[in-house]
Amino acid sequence: MTRLDESSIYVSLKGLRNMLYEAQYLMQKTDRVVYGTPLMHACADTIKWYVKAYTARSDKKVEYLAEAIGAFNILRIDLEFCIDHNMIHYKKKEGDVNTQKVELFKIVARVDNELCKWEASLAKGKTIAE
């Protein structure tokens, strides 16, 4: 296990990627191609830029983190679009919201919050436990 594996953002992004992979197969084939695959790519880009920010020299961290946040915002917006247009067909009990959908957005909110905290910390010139 590396230090990166202990990062809560990294762990959350890996969990999000797994959930997005599963969500693809709850989409119709055309939606999977048009929206599911780009969601996976946006998640991969977020992970890529986050890892670069996490492992970079301090003078490059802000630049790489900005890229990670940009990729994550694309992911979040596209995911919200998919949910708003009922493209991911989660099974639900009568009148209940599916727990997978709730967990998906909990992870999205956690990653968003943690990225923003790290960005604020870097802007102040401090480091935190990423």
Q: Give the domains, in start order, of the chain with CATH numbers.
A: 4-123 (1.20.1440.60)
Cβ contacts of residue 80 below 8 Å, gap of 6+? none
Start-end of H helices in 1-130: 8-24, 29-31, 37-55, 58-84, 99-123
Say which residues have a Cβ less than 8 Å from residue 63's Cβ, sequence separation at least 6.
Answer: 53
Residue 98: is its pLDDT beyond 50? yes
* Cβ(68)–Cβ(50) below 8 Å: yes
Model-level pTM?
Answer: 0.88
Backbone angles phi, psi at 76, to 5 degrees: -60, -45
Q: How confident is the model at residue 38 (pLDDT cuts 50, 70, 90)?
A: very high
Radius of gyration of the chain (CA): 16
User: Tell me: the pLDDT tens digits for 62-77?
Assistant: 999 999 999 999 999 9
